[in-house]
Structure 1
Amino acid sequence: MIKLTGISKYYEVMGGRRAVLDNISLSISPGEHVGVLGRNGAGKSTLVRIIGGAEQPSSGQVERGMTVSWPLAFTGGFQPSLTGADNLRFICRIYDVDYAQRVAFVQDFSELGPYLYEPVGIYSSGMRARLAFAISMTIDFDCYLIDEVIAVGDESFRQKCRVELFEKRADKAMIVVSHSHRYLKGTCSRFLLLRDSKVEEYTDFDEAYMQYKMMLEGQDAAASATTTQ
């Protein structure tokens, strides 16, 4: 199980300190698929990074009783002067898995061809994301963090990602961030709505999405009223 207790995250901005997450407590059980909704800037990606350990909370505690992936398609950990293959080799060494058994899969899945042996610094953002997703699939995690990763590449590549992740690893826990109605409803059974730095939990997607749409419409109305004043 992954357990978050009293998690808060603040950023220093012009005019003072802004709370992105405020005293959030929740848990994720093995095999559970949790969808995360919220407007842009609500803290969805921050929450995912904190769960994965890529970012530390300002206060609170994260207990991880499962192995947790980095956010899929997250490319911030790549060394740009190394080739894609060398970055894979380094990650295999960290996780104590055999590089030789995984490089063929990464080359085939990422569809990078000879670019796998070129420095990551020359990759486009899409190429980096393909490499990150492919490498993520070579490590067996108990929980996968998914932050709009299926938006990577063309439809054929996105379908390949869906099969590799949601069909072959359906028994794994997943935390899924997406703006897609169909995507979340089809993959998750529990939903978190981030609103005003707090988390609201729902087991019914239609109710969660209705609240999400009402929140967006309310913000649009408030912004329109401010503009006309």
Structure 2
Amino acid sequence: MIQLSNLSKTFFLNGKSKVVAKNINAVFPSGVSIGLLGRNGAGKSTMLQMISGTQRPTSGSISSTGSISYPVGFAGSFHPELTGSQNARFVARIYGVDTEKLTEFVKDFAELGVHFDLPFRTYSSGMRSRLAFGVSMGIKFDTYLVDEVTSVGDAAFQTKSSALFQERMKTSGAIVVSHSLPMIRKLCSAGAVLEKGRLFYYDGIEDAIKHYNHVIQGRTPPWIVEY
């Protein structure tokens, strides 16, 4: 379970403010795969970062039971001068998992070849995503945070990544951000919509998608009080 309590997040830039979260109170239940929907710029990635602990809220708190991944596919935590192998070992030590097992898993899954033993700064964006996804999926978490899982690698690697993710979902939950509604329907049973600092949770993914479709058409859903 992940609980958001009076959660607020505001960015300030050049005298202007951008509200991502405004006193949000919500609960993401354990063992459920939840699609987090919202228009571009709504703050979905920021929400994942706050839940993972890599971004601090302006006010309020986030509490949880069980372990939570950093956003799957997020490569910002890797050290540029360390090799892929060294970065995998470093993450293994942070999370207290078997170093050799994680390194071997990532080496096999990410398919980086000789680049696995080269500095991370030399990687292309696709190679960075492969490494990040492999490291994330190589560790068993109670809840995975996933930001655009479909964007990882080429078509064959995307299929491989999706299959591994679905295998993990047999024993874990997830919060998934994706602009692909077919992928959201495939991966998620529940949904949430982030709009103008408010979060709306739905037990059924189709209800969340219905709300989201109103949002992208510039309309407020009839069952929601004006934003």
What TM-score, normalized to structure 1? 0.91
Q: How much has 1:107 moved relative to structure 2? A: 1.0
Task: Return 5+ residue gaps in structure 2 as ranges.
Answer: 220-227
| Matches of 2:108 and 2:100, distance apart in 1 | 14
Residues 168 and 199 (structure 1), Cα distance of their counterparts in 2 relative to 1, 3 Å cut:
closer
| Matches of 2:55 and 2:11, distance apart in 1 | 12
> Could you say which residue in structure 2 is the equivalent of 1:225?
none
Q: How much has 1:19 moved relative to structure 2? A: 1.2
Task: Return 5+ residue gaps in structure 1 as ranges.
Answer: 220-229
> Could you say which residue in structure 1 is the equivalent of 2:191?
191
The reply to whether residue 150 of structure 1 matches residue 150 of structure 2 is yes
> Could you say which residue in structure 1 is the equivalent of 2:206?
206
Please say if residues 102 and 139 of structure 2, whose CA atoms lie closer than 8 Å, have aligned partners that are also in contact: no
**Greater shift in the superposed pair: 53-62 or 202-211:** 202-211
**What does the per-residue CA deviation read over 1:128-161, in whole Å, with 9 as the maximum and x for residues that have no partner?**
1100111112211111000102211111111111
Letter in 2 for 1:29: P
> Could you say which residue in structure 1 is the equivalent of 2:111?
111
> Could you say which residue in structure 1 is the equivalent of 2:127?
127
Residues 115 and 160 (structure 1), Cα distance of their counterparts in 2 relative to 1, 3 Å cut:
same
SS at match of 1:70: coil
Letter in 1 for 2:197: S
The reply to whether residue 164 of structure 1 matches residue 164 of structure 2 is yes
**Greater shift in the superposed pair: 105-114 or 91-100:** 91-100
Please say if residues 89 and 102 of structure 2, whose CA atoms lie closer than 8 Å, have aligned partners that are also in contact: no
> Could you say which residue in structure 2 is the equivalent of 1:218?
218
The reply to whether residue 53 of structure 1 matches residue 57 of structure 2 is no
Please say if residues 44 and 194 of structure 2, whose CA atoms lie closer than 8 Å, have aligned partners that are also in contact: yes
| Matches of 2:96 and 2:149, distance apart in 1 | 25
**Greater shift in the superposed pair: 204-213 or 124-133:** 204-213
Q: Percent identity?
A: 41
Letter in 2 for 1:14: N
Map 1:6-45 → 2, pairs under 5 A: 6-45=6-45
Residues 19 and 65 (structure 1), Cα distance of their counterparts in 2 relative to 1, 3 Å cut:
same
When Rg is computed on C-alpha atoms for both structures, the one with the higher figure is 1
Q: How much has 1:192 moved relative to structure 2? A: 0.7
**Greater shift in the superposed pair: 91-100 or 130-139:** 91-100
Letter in 2 for 1:46: T
Equivalent residue pairs, number: 219
**What does the per-residue CA deviation read over 1:96-150, in whole Å, with 9 as the maximum and x for residues that have no partner?**
2222222222111001001000000000111011001111122111110001022
| Matches of 1:15 and 1:130, distance apart in 2 | 38
SS at match of 1:146: strand
**Greater shift in the superposed pair: 119-128 or 169-178:** 169-178
CA RMSD for the aligned pairs?
1.4
Residues 187 and 68 (structure 1), Cα distance of their counterparts in 2 relative to 1, 3 Å cut:
same
